[in-house]
């Protein structure tokens, strides 16, 4: 599958560049030009920005559909600028810039030591079995999360920024002298939102650690990351793959790449290659990759990733199934020219942008709108089976981590069967173009067609009859839609039509 070439933008910004204001409000003409270059528009970049722009001139032959989608998004960018393993040695992968030097912060008479915060942070992740290996533990101890942040958003009813129906306040942070109160947030199991529109963040540490363990990284590996964020993931990966390994991370937002490059260099991670580029294209120049990992919810498996994967390598992709925020972690590999996969865990990410962006997905914003409106019907909870009440009758945060994992098995079956699952403040349930059903603690709310309640009952009965399959029971195969007739079907198989490929899911006990 071929696509139009994209300008790869590499940044070497002046050391004095600092982020003082919220990123989306610090919009500049230079930033708009940089973003357009990412979408394939070759504009001139002022010399004083210090940006080195490498234009790719070769065009691969291949799939016209992916090229058409990419061209449409490029044209849109022209018209509308975006809104404002073994033990490792201590000095294995980066220059020690005194990340822990002194290690003491004082404010208002209180004293906090960064090493103590990191120790508690790592201990919590180990206790909850997110960190299991010595290599991942070492990486978490080595990389200072606060050094890769210049500010972030926190939910605040009085905040002056809004995303969806939630208001946020901007909290500025100095990587060299962070506020102790902000450090307590940074070194907790909390995702940190660094941009609102378009959104960008650093993921929840528990999920980051689980994904690193699932990647089975070793020293010397070559890794491609889709979604640079703050660079925290890339730095952790670099610590594990060591001096003989290499990390390439891609992000479609040019301003994210500029900031991440600068902060990674300041933290001593000069070998990580951060490139402004549509992640769907991969980066053939550094291929083949032993591992490809995405930190965004992906609507499909890019054929470029398949092409750039090393012979015995694999991908770890949060593959969208249903509504936004439901992205089962999917291990994908190539075997005898077949693209195969299986679910290995759970995640919820912001959706990918660019050629793989999906307009059909039930977004977070739409979920909020649905739940905010008055229901067409309100039924007693006895209107659904005890099984459904057990699964959907409590909110996510009311469950233990073990309960959360078990709870997701039925929603995954719904998603594979072509239905959406969504979460609201009242509870969770089933979504379809005819509306939604939310099962709360004491009531069932119907937003739309009341017959959806019976659909939910029937689907749950089918899942129970199949033996309540969990994520480990599914086997996946992907093929270009033009070739999908060759995929095996029949009883015990479910088919999902993705943007460029067809996914066939089969139940098979491991």
Contacts of 482 (CB under 8 A, 6+ apart): none
Closest listed residue to residue 72, CA positions, set 329, 331, 359, 335: 359
Q: Could you list the active site residues?
A: 203
C-beta of residue 318 within 8 angstroms of C-beta of residue 292: no
Phi, psi of 36 (to 5 degrees): -65, -35
Lookup result for tokens 């699932």: 214
Q: Could you give the CA distance from residue 257 to residue 36 in angstroms, rounded to a whole number? A: 14
Strand partners, 53: 9
Contacts of 370 (CB under 8 A, 6+ apart): 422, 424, 431, 436, 447
DSSP string, 152-169: EEEE-TT-SEEETTEEEE
C-beta of residue 282 within 8 angstroms of C-beta of residue 299: no
Longest dimension (CA), the chain: 70
Phi, psi of 163 (to 5 degrees): -135, 115
Q: Between helices 29-38 and 64-79, what is the axis angle to 10°?
A: 170
Residue 371 belongs to what H/E stretch?
helix 364-372
Q: Could you give the CA distance from residue 41 to residue 64 in angstroms, rounded to a whole number? A: 19
| Vertex 200 angle, CA 18 and 6, to 5° | 90
Contacts of 25 (CB under 8 A, 6+ apart): 84
Lookup result for tokens 């593959």: 319
- Residues 238, 241, 247, 251, Cα dihedral to 10°: -60
């Amino acid at each position: 599958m071929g696509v139009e070439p994209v300008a790869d933008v590499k940044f070497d910004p002046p050391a004095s560049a600092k982020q003082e204001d919220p990123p989306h409000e610090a919009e500049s003409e230079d930033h708009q030009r940089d973003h357009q270059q990412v979408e394939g528009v070759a504009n001139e970049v002022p010399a004083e920005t210090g940006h080195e722009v490498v234009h790719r001139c070769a065009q691969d032959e291949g799939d016209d559909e992916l090229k058409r989608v990419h061209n449409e998004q490029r044209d849109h960018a022209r018209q509308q600028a975006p809104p404002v393993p073994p033990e490792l040695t201590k000095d294995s992968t980066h220059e020690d810039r005194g990340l822990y030097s002194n290690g003491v912060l004082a404010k208002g008479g209180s004293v906090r030591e960064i090493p103590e915060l990191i120790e508690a942070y790592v201990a919590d992740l180990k206790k909850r079995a997110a960190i299991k290996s010595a290599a991942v533990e070492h990486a978490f101890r080595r990389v200072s999360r606060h050094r890769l942040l210049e500010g972030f958003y926190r939910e605040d009813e009085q905040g002056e920024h809004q995303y969806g129906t939630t208001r946020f306040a901007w909290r500025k942070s100095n990587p060299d002298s962070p506020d102790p109160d902000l450090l307590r947030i940074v070194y907790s199991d909390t995702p940190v939102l660094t941009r609102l529109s378009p959104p960008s963040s650093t993921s929840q540490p528990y999920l980051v650690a689980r994904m690193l363990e699932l990647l089975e990284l070793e020293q010397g590996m070559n890794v491609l990351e889709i979604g640079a964020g703050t660079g925290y993931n890339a730095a952790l990966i670099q610590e594990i793959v060591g001096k003989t390994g290499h990390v390439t991370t891609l992000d479609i937002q040019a301003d994210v790449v500029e900031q991440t490059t600068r902060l990674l260099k300041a933290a001593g991670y000069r070998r990580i290659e951060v490139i402004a580029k549509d992640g769907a294209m991969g980066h053939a120049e550094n291929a083949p990759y032993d591992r490809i990992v995405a930190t965004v919810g992906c609507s499909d498996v890019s054929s470029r990733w398949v092409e750039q994967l090393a012979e015995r390598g694999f991908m770890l992709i949060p593959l969208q199934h249903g509504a936004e925020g439901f992205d089962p972690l999917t291990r994908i590999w190539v075997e005898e020219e077949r693209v195969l996969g299986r679910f290995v865990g759970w995640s919820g990410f912001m959706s990918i942008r660019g050629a793989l962006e999906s307009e059909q997905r039930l977004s977070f914003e739409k979920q909020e709108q649905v739940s905010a409106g008055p229901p067409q019907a309100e039924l007693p909870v006895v209107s659904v089976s005890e099984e459904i009440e057990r699964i959907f009758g409590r909110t996510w945060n009311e469950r233990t981590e073990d309960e959360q994992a078990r709870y997701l098995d039925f929603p995954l079956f719904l998603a594979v069967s072509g239905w959406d699952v969504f979460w609201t403040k009242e509870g969770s349930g089933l979504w379809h173009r005819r509306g939604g059903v939310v099962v709360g603690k004491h009531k069932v709310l119907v937003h739309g067609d009341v017959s959806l309640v019976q659909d939910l009952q029937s689907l749950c009965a089918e899942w129970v009859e199949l033996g309540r399959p969990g994520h480990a029971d599914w086997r996946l195969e992907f093929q270009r839609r033009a070739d999908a007739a060759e995929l095996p079907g029949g009883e015990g198989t479910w088919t999902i039509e993705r943007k460029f490929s067809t996914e066939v899911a089969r139940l098979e006990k491991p």
